[in-house]
Amino acid sequence: MKPEIRRAAEILRAGGLVAFPTETVYGLGADASNAKAVARLYATKGRPADHPVIVHFESAERAFTWANQVPQTARKLADRFWPGPLTLILKRSKLAKDFVTGGQDSVGLRVPSHPVAHELLEMFQGGIAAPSANRFGLVSPTTAAHVRADLGDDVDLVLEGGPSEVGIESTIVDLSTGSAVLLRPGAISREDLEQLLNLKEAGLSSPRHSGGLERHYAPRTPARLVAKHDLDKEIEKLKQRVAVLAFSRPDERVDYWLRMPRKPGAYAQKLYAALRELDTAGCKQILVETPPDTADWAAVRDRLQKACAAR
Ligand code: TXA
Ligand code: MG
């Protein structure tokens, strides 16, 4: 692995694009200090230029050099959850240029725990800008094969790191406004965070972030959330090729179905691979059994609601 990671760091230094595994999803990386490299990253993703991107580091010390104020709460969260699936939004320092912040005065920072990501960041010795390694708006990749299927030759190197353990994107906390706001739920839950700080509800003025768009993380096949007791009725009514994601086998005959785990962590880990599989089943409609309405399912519900939002 070492020589491969060394090559990846060289490609990044030369302004190239490297996809790499993280514990959440695979990222599409570029040198976060190189305007041209980041421009190519945005073009490859098909992402609007005014959307900010998360910058990844090998340590909290290095990450915090990209912030001009590091509140005590940020240090507490970093101590507790880094390296890991948490992104902190902080007021930026001069190192964070407009082309990574989308022109905002804040920057998204993350220290991932995946050993391959960590080694790459250590070797690169700088910030790596990395959105999820998929085309804009589509389902995030959780394996190297997903990345290759999405991006093909548009990426210079794909580092292999096995299936992502968490399976959904990092929890994002905005600390740039004086209070703490949860912008995106993830494996680190609201309850986990509230053991260390008070969270404010996200207001309408919360900063632009693509995960905040109504429809996101979406398969190409139209998808819909359906309560368990309506599932069979809906399948019968549709009379077309239907693919189903559910906790147990539907009674009605369907063309394709996948059973999902009953624990939210295990469900999240499988979610994107499952949506991708159902998307390639050649069906007209995907039906997803609604997960429980409890706090521990918040992050999964968020991704499913976005995957199922009307286009
Ligand atoms: O788990 C993850 O966070 C993955 C892996 C690769 O680290 N990355 C990821 O990146 O999900 P992306 O670009 O797909 O989503 C990043 C989110 C977006 O919604 C972005 O707009 C938001 O973070 N974001 C980044 N910087 C921000 C800022 N300064 N203010 C508000 N939102 C920000
Ligand atoms: Mg994404």
pLDDT, tens digit, 9 for 90 and up, residues 184-203? 999 999 999 999 999 987 65
For residue 127, report the distance from its CA to the centre of ligand 2, in Å.
18
For residue 222, report the distance from its CA to the centre of ligand 1, in Å.
25
Neighbours of 106 (CB within 10 A): 21
Q: Residues 268-284: what's their mean pLDDT?
A: 96
pLDDT, tens digit, 9 for 90 and up, residues 93-115? 999 999 999 999 999 999 999 99
Q: Using CA positions, which residue lies closest to atom 29 of ligand 1?
A: 107
Say what the pLDDT of residue 172 is: 98
For residue 230, report the distance from its CA to the centre of ligand 1, in Å.
35
Using left for φ > 0, alpha for ψ between -120 and 50, and beta otherwise, residue 282 falls in left
Closest CA to 140 of 54, 64, 226, 199: 54
Model pTM? 0.95
Say what the pLDDT of residue 204 is: 52
Pocket of ligand 1 (CB under 6 A): 22, 24-25, 27, 51-54, 87, 89, 101, 104, 106-108, 110, 112, 130-132, 169-170, 172, 183, 207, 209-211
